[in-house]
Amino acid sequence: MNNLIILPILIPLISGVFLIFFSKNIRIQRWVSALSSLVTMILAVMLVHQVKSEGIQTMNVSNWEAPFGITLVSDMLSALLVLTTSIIGLTCIIYSFRSIGEDRERFYYYPVVFFLIVGVNGAFTTGDIFNLFVFFEVMLMSSYVLIVHGGTKIQLRESIKYILVNVISSALFVITVGFLYSVVGTLNMAHISQRINEVDESGILTVISILFLIVFGLKGAIFPLYFWLPGSYYAPPAAITALFGALLTKVGVYSIMRTHTLFFSHDTGYTQQILSVLAVMTIIFGVIGAIAYWDFNKIIIYNIIVAVGIILFGLSTMTPTALAGSIFYLIHDMIIKAALFFLAGIVITITGTSNLRGFSGLIKPYPGVGWTFFLAALALAGIPPLSGFAGKLLIVQGGFEGGQFWGAGIVLMSSLLVLFSVMKIFIHGFWGSADTFKGDDKVPVRALMIAPIVLVALSVLYGIGSEFVMPYIIEAAETLSDPSIYIEAVLKE
């Protein structure tokens, strides 16, 4: 038993419950939130080190051994994603101090953020398919509160679509888990993988795999199921949008990666071909949206969809190189998307608009904001040696190795178009003649810039230090490409 596994889930849970009783005391909420987030991040670092030195860690929540009890499992992929989530949670808390507003802070904002982190970390850590659903619901219920938090008109309008889509996908999730249980008779994910190899009903299993792809595709926003995302992520304040863009879709992507490598390796031809086509279409439609809009937030939101397609294309090739690239790119995208949404929030606070035709020349009065965005934009597009380059290079290399030349070519082409979309923001919003904005002297830019600077610096170090990080990424990819490693660690066989 390893109690370190549960602490990144337990500490945010306890913190969220504790903060409910101090909802009106903003000072206590801020201090407790920052301290709790910092402790969670430190524990996540320790967990990554422990997995690296001792192998996959497991914990039985009850006295029942796997596969009969509920098991938490932390392999390298899970540990790295928990660490990334903890970093983003900490920066979001810091950014919220000067951006979210005291009215929202007094109305249980910090507790709900912690409950969302509980759901995200739990989804990354659980070794039970039904408890994956449970943690999804914890995450989604928290997101329902955050998407309407503040009660603006656009938030209330978009929340209807967001909640409706997720309620439907959650119902389909339960139905799919029921179908899977009726075939294999277990909910433990390692045991499911073992049982599936013994079941001679490949047709039914293929149907179940497609149902899981639909469920997680809705949550991860793959083509054509991304229709709800641009409006829903456009509505909340920047701190909430950063949490959503960095974490929520990535839980759906992680779930596809986990289930389709652990459960459905028996029939990779059909399901992986479908996943490959959907991934490429996701990239294409995401890029179209990113280059079509003249809205700062909408361009970044559509780039979320592009990144989801790139990650899943790497998964669809099922080569070790591409899997490593997908994991590397997944972590990169979580970090850089949060930074970009933070920067978008700062720009909107200064200018009062996200329309690129409504302002220009921001780099002159705010050079720190402008050059931080420039670095983040280059990282997003995958310009070497920044963090987006190494992951995308591995995905393209894996695509060539797997014979998916068209898909790899589209991934390469998407880099140019993504660069065009974010350089459009830089050229029209930051370059040019400087505008003057009423009240911009009252914007706490220095305080707000702490979070994006930390994340962009981390992204730069992640890219430059990719050689140091790569052994961790390769270990995570090995667990995906060889399910027996996961099974043996959980079932102790």
pLDDT tens track for 23-41:
888 899 999 999 999 999 9
Q: Please give the biggest Cα pair distance in the chain.
A: 70
Identify the domain containing residue 75 by its residue range. Answer: 4-491
- In this prediction, residue 76 carries a pLDDT of 94
Strand partners of residue 57: 74
Half-sphere exposure in the Cβ direction for 87 (13 Å, CA): 24
- In this prediction, residue 64 carries a pLDDT of 79
| Percentage above 70 pLDDT, the chain | 96
Asked if residue 320 has a cis previous peptide bond (ω within 30° of 0), the answer is: no
Which one-letter amino acid corresponds to residue 18?
Answer: F
Predicted confidence (pLDDT) per residue in 7-22, tens digit: 999 999 999 999 999 8
Which one, of 99, 80, 70, lies nearest residue 450 by Cα?
99
How many domains are there within the chain? Answer: 1
Q: What would the two tokens of residue 299 be?
A: 């361009």
Dihedral (C-alpha) 193, 197, 202, 204: value to the nearest 10 degrees?
Answer: -40
Cα(168)–Cα(252) distance, integer angstroms:
15
Give the angle subtended at the CA of 479 by the CAs of 478 and 480, to the nearest 5°: 90
Cα(56)–Cα(490) distance, integer angstroms:
8
Strand partners of residue 241: none
- In this prediction, residue 441 carries a pLDDT of 63
Per-residue CA distances from 139 to 15, 117, 166, 341 (Å): 16, 7, 11, 20
- In this prediction, residue 424 carries a pLDDT of 92
Q: What angle do helix axes 129-148 and 109-125 make, rounded to 10 degrees? A: 160
Answering whether pTM is above 0.85, one says yes
Per-position pLDDT tens, the chain of length 493: 467 899 999 999 999 999 999 888 889 999 999 999 999 999 999 999 999 998 889 888 877 777 788 889 999 999 999 999 999 999 999 999 988 888 888 889 999 999 999 999 999 999 899 999 999 999 999 999 999 887 778 888 888 888 888 899 999 999 999 999 988 888 889 888 888 877 776 778 888 888 999 999 988 889 888 888 888 888 888 899 999 999 998 999 999 999 888 887 655 667 788 888 999 999 999 999 999 999 999 999 999 999 999 999 999 888 889 999 999 999 999 999 999 999 999 999 888 888 888 888 888 888 999 999 999 999 998 888 888 888 899 999 998 988 888 988 999 999 999 999 999 999 988 887 776 665 566 778 888 999 999 999 999 999 998 889 999 999 999 998 888 888 888 887 6
Cβ burial 436-454 (10 Å sphere, 16+ → b, else e): ebeebeebebeebbebbbb
Cα(202)–Cα(422) distance, integer angstroms:
45
Cα(241)–Cα(235) distance, integer angstroms:
8
